[in-house]
Amino acid sequence: MIATNYSNARQNFAHYCNEAVHNYETVIVTRKRGENVVLMSESAYNNLMENLYVRSNRDNYDRLLRSINQLEHGKGTARELVEIPDDEQNIL
C-alpha cells in the first residue's frame, strides 16, 4: 500500500496509476480534511466487488466454504470440459 498527499498524487498521477495497475498497489491519497481517497486498478476493484457479492448471501458463502473444504480433503473429481459449438448452444 502506498500513501501520498493530494498534491503529490496530482503531480505524479500517471506514476500512481501505473503502480496500481502494474504492481497491484493500492494508493491512499490523503487530504487535509481527512476525506481520503483510494486508487486501485479496475481488476482489483472488480475482484473486491465480486468477493463482496459472494459473501453477501450467507447460505451461498457457506456452501462455497464447504466445497473448498471438501476439495482440500481430496473429495473433488477432475473433469474434462467439452466445448460446445456456437450453433449448438441455443438448442437448450
Q: Which tens digit of pLDDT belongs to each residue from 54-89?
A: 999 999 999 999 999 999 999 988 889 988 887 776
Radius of gyration of the CA atoms of the chain, in A: 21
Q: Which tens digit of pLDDT belongs to each residue from 24-50?
A: 999 999 999 889 999 999 999 999 999
Relative to beta strand 37-39, strand 2-5 is unpaired
CATH 3.40.1620.10 for domain 2-40: yes
Output the CA–CA distances (angstroms, integers) from residue 39 to 1, 8, 22, 61, in the order listed: 10, 14, 13, 28
Residue 8 banded pLDDT, cuts 50, 70, 90:
very high
Per-domain residue ranges of the chain: 2-40, 43-72
